[in-house]
Structure 1
Amino acid sequence: MALPNISALEDCADFSKAVQPFIPQLYALPAKFLDVIWSREGLLNLYRETNPLISGFAVSLVLGAVFLVVAEINRNYSQVDRCWSLLPTLYIAHFDAWARLTGVPAQRIDLALLFSTIWSIRLTFNYWRKGGYNVGHEDYRWEIVRGYVPKAVFHVFNWTFISFIQSVLLLLIAAPVYTILLASRIDPHVSNADIAYLVIELLLVLVEYISDQQQWVYQAAKKQYLSSGKVSGGFQKADLDRGFITSGLWGYSRHPNFAAEQSIWFILYQWSCFTSKTLYNWAAVGPSFLILLFQGSTWLTELITAGKYSEYPEYQRNVGMFVPKRLAPYKTPVVMPRIIRTSDLAKKLKEKQK
């Protein structure tokens, strides 16, 4: 049996009924996989007979091992980053494919897959144009972290968090779709609320696209300004001298793209709560951990940025990290020139003469 035998929507979000009974399948899966690996038909049957959350979790562990080996061989710790924009959508596609193969209504899962596919396209494109897929590219923050911790400690950090925990996290943020899958067996119909969740998700992806595009345009103008001294792209010289963007969505939030990213996966979790008629459920683990991860990584990013740009602390005081502090956008503080009175000059002259 690959799915729990439940009749109430609330049971779809109950960990003890929807997940726990299938954990033994994870332990038995490697041996079963080896038994059928040479038989194509047997492999498909194994896929159908295995709980989709368990098989997805097994894949995340295997990928974690791959990320670990590749990272250690190349001494490059951005292997998960290269797959970040793809794996959540692939896991949702896995839930969708499993539902179709086993006859579970998949209309709601189709909606989740639609927004996730658009999310993947946007994030993959943005990562590509920033050079993320170039040979040897690595997140600059890993080099900084390596400089502050012993080599052995960093390797343990890679063996745990960077490779395995992040890999599992990419499954967990997509895991609310498993609850939606279970609920679809009882209530297969797409409601207006489901459409509303889809629209909200697409709007959040649009916010990510707009904020990333604004950042891209600013950085391109800044790069040209530093190399040629030419001010372009609708910016003023003071904007480019500042060193970081404060216009558009960035005038209201220091990280509007990060705010939207966290919201996307939290809304997916809320979607699962709606379909299962629960206020909260076990699937909160994924988006909650993601939010904590963003807190830590954004703190490190801002620590580095504040050390590079003198105005950044003022920007931090006036603009929220994720949520806007005020309705008005950020404005660069006006520095008034210091007025020196002639009487003050006379006093200084007398002091020198004494």
Structure 2
Amino acid sequence: MVFLPPPSWTEFAWPLQFCAFVAAATYIASIVTANVSQVDRLWTFLPPLYSAYFALLPLWPKSVQPFPLCPYVPRELVAVASDYSPRAVLMLALEVIWMFRLSYNTYRRGLFSLKDEDYRWAVLRTQLPAWFFQVMNLVFISGIQNVLLLSLGIPAYIAAVQQPHSNLALSDVVLALSSLVMLCLEFIADNQQYAFHAYKHSYLKGTGDYAEKKQWVGARLNWIPADAKRGFVTRGLWAYSRHPNFTCEQLFWWMNTFFPVAAQFPLDIPLCSFSRCVENVFHIYAYLTTTPVAEIFRTASSFWPLLPAASLSLLFIASTKYTEQITKSKYPSYTFYQKRVAMFGFIKTMEMSLYYKLRGGEQKKQIEKELWGSDTGKVKQY
């Protein structure tokens, strides 16, 4: 593997300029409107925009910025802006598909409305002193989140600036197809959640206006009154993960991160045998126990290309845990859901099912009746 040098500030001159502008604008807008979901409304557009800057470098003016906020190519990047990187363009195309999927889901949830605010911010506002919430609004909501969205453009930067603009590799094709699968699964998970809430609101209000045929294919599940009374979705992909949409979202961005990383490895690397793996473990142990800390840190820093996806995953873990605290306070049976279905991993859900089977199955039956049982007590197994 060829270690990639971290980017220079000058190479990110325009993205940093634009990121600072968006951070300031969203913070001011949040103060004026008393609504801190301004970044949420832009979330769907900003990552593809930063990636587009690097993937489409030949389009921008060279060396001199015509006017403030206009994309341009700094002198340090003029040499690589003569042609396009096929890998960066492919990554941008996938991100555009991601953008349309998320924009559609955001639109139908009403979050593009300037009056709408993510319910989690409203809850958090009641839990923190007013002054501390505004500090968090400035530092995290408007600041750190915008920097994170900027960092999601780093893989496109690596492909367009630090790597040769050669033809696509086999790893690019595999990752592209895998990314499309993740986007399809995420779309299905979103549709299932949307269909559930449509059914729940129809049942609880007694309007009877839920139309199964109006839902997307893959979301036409056989909802029953027990689902609406429970309050949260547990069918379809949601029977295997408490947040299948978040799982696919993270995997999509990890795959995006690995496009330029995986392309560095030759295709003829043999599979590592068990003995070789054991040997490598001993080498790693010897390295860690005999190498100065500064040298270890320098080696670890070479993994900086993974930082954007890792940071996004940390954000998802923290925000999902907070979301589940709110959900559990509203729906007591959510505790059973947490015991039976994993937060993200599908495989862990299967392990949890096996765990309850080995313990005799009675507790498993009780939990599954609570999560998938009908009003007559019939249990739907997953």
Give me the TM-score of the superposition, normalised by structure 1.
0.78
Counterpart residue type for residue 81 of structure 1: D
**Who is 2:19 aligned against?**
60
Alignment of structure 1 residues 181-330 onto 2, 5 Å? 181-185=160-164, 188-228=166-206, 230=208, 233=212, 234-277=222-265, 281-324=303-346, 325-327=348-350
Counterpart residue type for residue 265 of structure 1: W
Greater share of residues in helix = 1
Moved more, 208-217 or 325-334: 325-334
Q: Displacement, 1:230?
A: 4.1
Judge conservation of contact 1:99–1:106 (CA < 8 Å) in 2: no
Counterpart residue type for residue 14 of structure 1: P
Q: Displacement, 1:99?
A: 4.5
Q: Displacement, 1:307?
A: 1.1
Counterpart residue type for residue 275 of structure 1: A
Counterpart residue type for residue 70 of structure 1: A
Judge conservation of contact 2:55–2:157 (CA < 8 Å) in 1: no
Q: What per-residue deviation string (whole Å, max 9, x for no partner) do you get for residues 9-56 of structure 1?
A: 825x222xxx2xx32x3xxxxxxxxxxxxxxxxxxxxxxxxx2x3321
Do structure 1's residue 82 and structure 2's residue 70 form an aligned pair?
A: no
CA distance change for structure 1 residues 195 and 311 in 2, over 3 Å: closer, same or farther?
Answer: same
Query: Whole-Å Cα distance in 2 between the matches of residues 190 and 217 of structure 1?
Result: 39
Among residues 142, 146, 149, which one is paired with 2:125 in the alignment?
146
Query: Whole-Å Cα distance in 2 between the matches of residues 314 and 141 of structure 1?
Result: 22
Query: Whole-Å Cα distance in 2 between the matches of residues 219 and 68 of structure 1?
Result: 31
Judge conservation of contact 1:99–1:181 (CA < 8 Å) in 2: no
Counterpart residue type for residue 201 of structure 1: S
Query: Whole-Å Cα distance in 1 between the matches of residues 114 and 49 of structure 2?
Result: 24
Query: Whole-Å Cα distance in 1 between the matches of residues 251 and 197 of structure 2?
Result: 25
Counterpart residue type for residue 182 of structure 2: L
Aligned length: 295
CA distance change for structure 1 residues 300 and 141 in 2, over 3 Å: closer, same or farther?
Answer: same
**Who is 1:344 aligned against?**
none
CA distance change for structure 1 residues 55 and 289 in 2, over 3 Å: closer, same or farther?
Answer: same
Q: What per-residue deviation string (whole Å, max 9, x for no partner) do you get for residues 196-244 of structure 1?
A: 1111111111111000000011110111001116496431111221111
Judge conservation of contact 2:30–2:36 (CA < 8 Å) in 1: yes
Q: Displacement, 1:332?
A: 2.9
Q: Displacement, 1:100?
A: 5.4
SS at match of 1:189: coil
Q: Displacement, 1:276?
A: 3.9
Judge conservation of contact 1:183–1:275 (CA < 8 Å) in 2: no
- Give the number of the structure with larger relative contact order, counting CA–CA contacts within 8 Å between residues 6 or more apart: 1
Query: Whole-Å Cα distance in 2 between the matches of residues 183 and 277 of structure 1?
Result: 15
Judge conservation of contact 2:88–2:156 (CA < 8 Å) in 1: yes
Moved more, 320-329 or 285-294: 320-329
Judge conservation of contact 1:208–1:256 (CA < 8 Å) in 2: yes
Judge conservation of contact 2:56–2:89 (CA < 8 Å) in 1: no
CA RMSD of aligned residues (A): 2.5
Q: What per-residue deviation string (whole Å, max 9, x for no partner) do you get for residues 137-160 of structure 1?
A: 001111111111111111111111
Gap regions ≥5 residues in structure 2: 61-80, 213-221, 267-299, 354-363, 377-382
Query: Whole-Å Cα distance in 2 between the matches of residues 203 and 155 of structure 1?
Result: 39
Q: What per-residue deviation string (whole Å, max 9, x for no partner) do you get for residues 86-145 of structure 1?
A: 110111111112145521332111110111001000000100000001131001111111
Give me the TM-score of the superposition, normalised by structure 2.
0.72
- Highest CA radius of gyration, 1 or 2? 1
Among residues 4, 10, 16, which one is paired with 2:2 in the alignment?
10
SS at match of 2:369: coil
Gap regions ≥5 residues in structure 1: 1-8, 26-50, 338-354
